[in-house]
């Protein structure tokens, strides 16, 4: 397990940019943390590190946002509003699983038993005004 603490969203995003340099497809990353912990901020950094320069928003209502960067497809899923894991079938989740994609999944516990195992799990907690990141 690796642990790091960040005092600002900017530091967390910069960490995401650095982490992106170590990510290769196919890759599934689970992002755990309370609302407002910084999961989407970390995703924004990862996407920036992979070369994406556009707007990055949380897919809270759409469940998934797709980013195409060169030959790579990155799927950012936010399962917070998922009522039943079967809903993933209706959005074509299985089609996202290919050898060219990177999946960044917030709230993976909402689809426990349906998702494939993660290559990396990241827990983000806010403690004393700082964000503590644990990578498993």
Q: What is the mean pLDDT of the chain?
A: 92
Q: How far apart are CA 58 and CA 76, in angstroms?
A: 8
Q: CB–CB of 21/49 below 8 Å?
A: yes
What total number of domains does the chain contain?
1
* Helix pair angle (39-49, 9-20), 10° resolution: 40
pLDDT digits (tens, 9 = 90+) for 16-46: 999 999 999 999 999 999 999 999 999 999 9
Q: Is the per-residue pLDDT at 12 higher than 90?
A: yes
pTM above 0.85, yes or no: yes
Q: How far apart are CA 6 and CA 119, in angstroms?
A: 23
Q: Of 13-22, 39-48, 76-85, which gets the smallest average pLDDT?
A: 76-85
84: domain CATH number is: 3.40.50.300
Best CA proximity match to 101, nearest among 122, 121, 76, 123: 76
Question: What is the mean pLDDT of the segment spanning 58-86?
Answer: 89
Question: What is the mean pLDDT of the segment spanning 38-56?
Answer: 95
Instruction: Please give the pLDDT value at position 97.
Output: 83
Residue 67: domain span:
2-135
């Amino acid at each position: 397990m690796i642990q790091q603490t960040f005092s600002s969203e900017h530091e967390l995003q910069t960490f995401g940019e650095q982490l992106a340099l170590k990510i290769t497809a196919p890759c599934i990353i689970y992002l755990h943390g309370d609302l407002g912990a910084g999961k989407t901020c970390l995703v924004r950094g990862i996407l920036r590190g992979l070369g994406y320069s556009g707007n990055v928003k949380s897919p809270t209502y759409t469940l998934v946002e797709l980013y195409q960067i060169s030959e790579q497809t990155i799927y950012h899923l936010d399962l917070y509003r998922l009522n039943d894991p079967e809903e993933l079938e209706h959005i074509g989740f299985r089609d996202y699983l290919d050898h060219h994609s990177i999946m960044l999944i917030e709230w993976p516990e909402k689809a426990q038993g349906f998702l494939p195992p993660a290559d990396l799990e990241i827990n983000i907690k806010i403690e004393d005004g700082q964000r503590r990141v644990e990578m498993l």
